[in-house]
Every structure is written in structure tokens, then in C-alpha cells.
Structure 1
């Protein structure tokens, strides 16, 4: 169960990163919704990480949390055309994803 919470918390990291990006681009009242999404998702994400760390070693949990967040945030940026989908970028993100899986296998 701790691993599921950790993966979901990593996914929420991507949500708060995207919300933070949208809030930074918005002006006035348009900042309110992405700001609220950011606040709720960052609290849930770090809370989930804290829960997962009760069963998973801190270094492993943090590396997986960040890895999941980085891969999903980058995928979102590529899909929304904020970043280019180069072969090198895809290969390196694949390496991060493989490392996350590897950490699960050896933990």
C-alpha cells in the first residue's frame, strides 16, 4: 500500500508543478484556480510522501517520488508543447523511469 501511495504522491507532484506553471502565466483572478490546485496538490503530495516514508526508506521513497514527478511533469510539458520531444529527452526520461522501477525491485 505504501508504494501505491508513493506513486500517487509522485503523480500529484506533477499536478502541482503544472498548476504552478499555469498560475505563473495567469493574471488577476485567473490565478486563483491554479493557485488552489497547487496548494491542495502540494499538501497531498508531500503528505503522501510522509506516509510512504513510514514503510519505505527515506532515500528510496524520495528518489521514487521525485522520479515519478519529473517524468510525468516532463510528459505533460511535451504534450502541451511547452517543451520539445527530442530523442535525447525521451531516452533520458526513460532512464529515470527505469531507475524508479529498479528502486522498487531492489527495495
Structure 2
């Protein structure tokens, strides 16, 4: 695996997690397209922010050795990024609609 492939897998996991969370909790869903966009940006943001702790894609493939524990942490952070992104966007959507109604 390369760092680029690991990055793509992380983004794909973020998309799946945001869509799964949106399908189980309908009040947080923005439809398939909205959940997909939030999953992409949520997982990228969280991986870029927290990946500096040592589980970014290039640390996973350091010295051409695949570090499976770091990859598992990366996947879990991608899931968390997709779900937290969906929660944050829904919170902002509610705040903006509340101000528009007043």
C-alpha cells in the first residue's frame, strides 16, 4: 500500500460512516449527496488535524513497512470525522435556520 491509497481508503471510510450515521439517525441526514460531502471533508479535516500525532498515511507506511495498528487508528479517526462532521453541520444548520426564522 502507498500513502495515497491509505488516504483514499480513509476518505471512503469517512463517506461510509457519514452515510451510515445519517441513515440510522434521520434527523441528522442531509441526503446521500450531503452526507457524502460531509463525510469527505469531516474525515479529511480530522485526519489532517490529528494525524500529526503519528497515524497519518505516510507514518503508516514508514520505511516501506505497513503498520497495522496505526492504520486501525487512522480508520477509527476517519469514522469519527465523518460522524462529527455530520453532527457539526446539522448544529450549524439548526442555528442558521433559527436565526432566519426570528
TM-score, normalization by structure 2: 0.41
